[in-house]
Every structure is written in C-alpha cells, then in structure tokens.
Amino acid sequence: MDIVDELDSEEWVSKDNRLEQQSQLAPETFTNQLIEYLYDHTNKHSVQYNDQIAKCLLNLPVATEKLTKLSISLVRGYSNYQPAIDHITSVVDDLEFADVSKLVYPFVGRALPPPPSTIMGNHDRVLDNTSIRSIYRARKSELNSFINELFDSGDLNKIRGAARTILAIDVTELYATHNRTVIGKLLRRNTLLKNARRDDDTIHYLKEVAVNTFKKLPLNTDKIIQSLLKDKNETVQKGATAIYRGAMRHRYRDEILLEDFHKIAFERLLWMAVDNPYDRMENEAANFFQHPWDEFKELAAEQMDGVVGAAAVLSEKLNAIDVPEKIIIAPTGLEEIEKNNQRSSVNSLQGALVAWAALGASAKGEAGIKDFLQLYSSLPDDQIQMQANVVAHFSKLMIDVRSMQLVLSDLYGALMHGDARIRASAVKVVSDVHYKVRENFPV
C-alpha cells in the first residue's frame, strides 16, 4: 500500500488519517503480515505520529493484549479516540492498577473544563465523565487508595489531581470518603498547604469539592466545618465562609428548589455576617446579604424570624460603637473616622437584612406583611436607626392596592415622625413605590 510506504518518509504528517479510514472502509485489505508490520511501527520511537497507526489497528482483528497496549498509549496521550476509550473500559477489571492509575488524569481531563488559570475565553469542549466513572465502579477500593496517596503526598499538583478526580467522578460515596480530608486541607491551608497561593488552582478545586460535598452531605459537612471553626483562625473562617457562599451560588432568574444545604448555609452566613459587621471589604458573609435575591424569596420567608433577630443584634452593635472606653483618652481624628466607618458598615448590613426580611414578608403575602408591620411597631423607641431601616423597605411590601392599604397607616405615621431619619426613609418609600400603586394613594 502506498500509505504504508510513506510511514518512514518525511512526507507523513500528524493529521494524516488515511490509514484509519482505510481500516474502517476496507479492513480486509490488511493482512496479518501487514497488521504485524504496523504494530511493530508503534513500538519504534523513531517513527513519527504513530497515534494514527494505533487508531488504524484498533479497527482491525488484533490480539486483546495488543489492543490494550495501543489504547493505553492513545489515552495517556490525551487522545479522545472513542474505540480506545471503549476498549479500556471493557477490560479495566483485568488491568494492573499501575496501568489504570496512568489513565486517571486523562479521563478526568475529559470530564472537567480546564483549570481557571489556563482558560482563555470560553471553552466549547463536550464534557463526559462516563469513562472515569467506569474506572471508579470497577476499581473503587484501589482508586480510593490512589486518591488518598495523592492527598497525603503534600505535593500541590498531586493534591489538585486528587480533588479533580473526585469532582470528575462526582458520586456521593466518594465525597463522603474524603470529606474530612478535603475540608481540613482547605480550611487549614496555611499549615497544610503553605506554598499554595490564594488564587492557586489547587485551592480552587479543593473549594469546589468542599462545596459539592456540603450540598450532598450538608449535616455531616457542616459538623466538620464547625469543629474546625473552634480554632478561631482567620483562614479557617474565610474558608468556611467560601464553602457556605459557594453552596448559595445560582443562575440569575433560575428557579431554585430549596434543599437542606440552602437553609444551613443561609443561617451560617447570617450569623457569620453579624459576628463581624464592621468591615464590609473583608466580611464575605455580609457581602452575600447586600442584595436580596428574588430567587431566594421562599428561603427569606422561612428564615424571616432569624433575619429580624440578626438585624436587632446589629442595633446593639451600633450602640456599642459609641460606648466610651473605661480609660478615657482624647479621641483622635483617625479614631473618629474608624468609628464612622464601623457605623456605616453595621448600618449597611442592618439595612440589607431588613431588605431580606421584607422580601420574605412579601413572599408570605398578607400574613407576612402584617408580621413585618408588627415588627416595626414593636421596636423600642431608642432603636431609631433600625426603625428607619424598616420604614425604608415598606415599598417592597406595597405591590398592589390591598398591600398598600395594609402599609399606609404606618407609612403616614413615619412621614410625621419626630426623627428626621425616619421621615427621610418614609419620603423615599413614596418615591420608590411603583407608580401604578402610588396613583391609588388617598389624596
């Protein structure tokens, strides 16, 4: 055959697939002698582009051992040639695990997008985890041991490989097996992963595994996280916040089916935000609440009492900012600036939490609106800022004539209030209400 004559020539190019096509269209033209000749070429390092020869042979009557060797060679080279993949998954039970372990990373690469640090623009590759799952089902115990070895190595590349493997296989049993290891390495990375940068791909994949584990096993994972938070370590705190925030990720305007992990994450983030409300830049938990997502209105309705309670705690923290020190020192300009920044951060978070409460009240209908108004009327007289924040969100309740009628009395009372902050909030409500509702205001 003319094609065979070109194998050792410089004219042979890497994308020349004529041999593969010939094996598919006319396999009878390949004699046993020719098949042996081609197979021998795949073992010659001097021959370029023997992947095309291997693909050709996979369509021909070749001994199973040789097919396996060819398939492993192709897959290790990150080839997506389906006959090679199909052959490996059909014989995976019979392979030495030393060979299986060499196929893990290529199969993981088929199941996951590239690491964030290597993505340039959008990737349009079709992702498929069928092959890596086949290996997991067939060699579960050995693969778990392999993943453990990668985690225990201390090598960032190997740890990243272990995390990517878990993500690619994506089964609850595997997440459960490595749950404590993943959470521990992520939250204690300053000690266990000293060389990892904050934006390292290894940290990214550990975080993704932790988030997925929390979604699948929320109670168990939350228990592990809370046990580590007892260290009162800043890195642990930030890592835990990242897991809870990651669990609340959603597509804009997509309907969300509330699950246990949503409820647990929401509560944890709520009190993490309230525990340290003074620095908006550093408090990722507080940042989550800065925008009340409509997609979570049912969750806001369910958690309304907790949100209101958290907002009330912030009133106490606002008052504490102005409590004089036991040792009186003349205030400096910097101290006053710091206090003003703290007041601003606490007030911003309180306003955001009240917005979530208003979202929940609106979702509950008339009963929720009445609960929200009862909250307003029950606030102590000295909590002026809290009252102003509650009034500011009356507009979120006034979505039709009936809800307007429920709110109007308290709104007019706020417009006539003795404190300028509450009056200003009430004036803003009038301007924020939808014009179709506002035109029904009594003159």
Higher pLDDT, 361 or 335: 361
Between CA 356 and CA 208 the distance in angstroms is 27
According to the per-residue pLDDT averaged within each range, which of 19-33, 74-88, 203-217 is highest? 203-217
CB-CB contact of 362 with 437 (8 Å):
no
- Give the highest mean pLDDT range of 24-38, 166-180, 275-289: 166-180
* Mean pLDDT, residues 353-378: 94
66 CB contacts (<8 Å, ≥6 apart)? 39, 57
Give 74 or 7, the one with higher predicted confidence.
74
Whole-angstrom distance, CA of residue 55 vs CA of residue 79: 10
Instruction: List Cβ neighbours of 55 (8 Å cut-off, separation of 6 or more).
Output: 17, 19, 20, 23, 74, 81, 83, 84
Distance CA 76, CA 18 (A): 23
Average pLDDT over every residue of 168-176 = 97
Q: Is 325 a residue whose pLDDT tops 80?
A: no
Residue 154 falls in which region: left (phi positive, over 0), alpha (psi -120 to 50) or beta: left
The reported pTM is 0.87
* Residue 119 DSSP symbol: -
Q: How far is residue 343's CA from residue 384's CA, in Å, rounded to a whole number?
A: 14
Q: For residues 287 and 44, what is the distance between their CA atoms, to the nearest angstrom?
A: 60
Length of the chain in terms of residues written: 443
Give, in order, the Cα–Cα distances in Å from 67 to each of 37, 55, 59, 118: 15, 10, 10, 33
The answer to whether the CB of 313 falls within 8 A of the CB of 380 is no
Helix (H) / strand (E) containing 289: none
How does residue 27 score in pLDDT terms, banded at 50, 70 and 90? Answer: confident
Helix axes 82-91, 50-57, angle to 10 degrees: 60
Q: How many CA atoms lie within 13 A of 365 on its CB side?
A: 0
Lookup: tokens for 437: 């509702």
- Taking Cα atoms as reference points, which of 127, 217, 123 lies closest to residue 164? 127
Highest mean pLDDT among 65-79, 159-173, 288-302, 318-332: 159-173
Asked if residues 397 and 361 have their Cβ atoms less than 8 Å apart, the reply is: yes
Q: Which two tokens stand for residue 152?
A: 């225990």
Kindly report the average pLDDT of the chain as a whole number: 88
Residue whose entry in the numeric block shows the structure tokens 């070429």:
41
Residues 128-152, mean pLDDT to the nearest whole number:
96
- pLDDT the model gives residue 48: 46
CA–CA gap between residue 248 and residue 246 (Å, rounded): 5
For residue 435, pLDDT beyond 80:
no
Model confidence at 321, pLDDT cuts 50, 70, 90, reads: confident
pLDDT per residue as tens digits for the range 276-294: 898 777 788 999 999 999 9
pLDDT of residue 51: 78
Give me the mean pLDDT over the 217-224 stretch: 98
Q: Can you give the residue ranges of every domain in the chain? A: 139-247
User: For residue 324, what pLDDT band results from cuts at 50, 70 and 90?
Assistant: low
- All residues at 6 or more sequence positions from 198 whose CB lies less than 8 Å from its CB, including other chains: none
* Statement: residue 46 has pLDDT above 60: no
Is pLDDT of 47 > 50? no
Average pLDDT over residues 246-253: 88
CA dihedral 104, 105, 110, 112 (to 10 degrees): 110
Does the pLDDT of residue 233 top 60, yes or no? Answer: yes
Q: Would you give the end-to-end CA distance of the chain in angstroms?
A: 96
How far apart, in whole angstroms, are the C-alpha atoms of residue 248 and residue 261? 9
CA distance 277 to 343: 9
List, for residues 113-139, the tens digit of each pLDDT value: 988 877 655 556 789 999 999 999 999
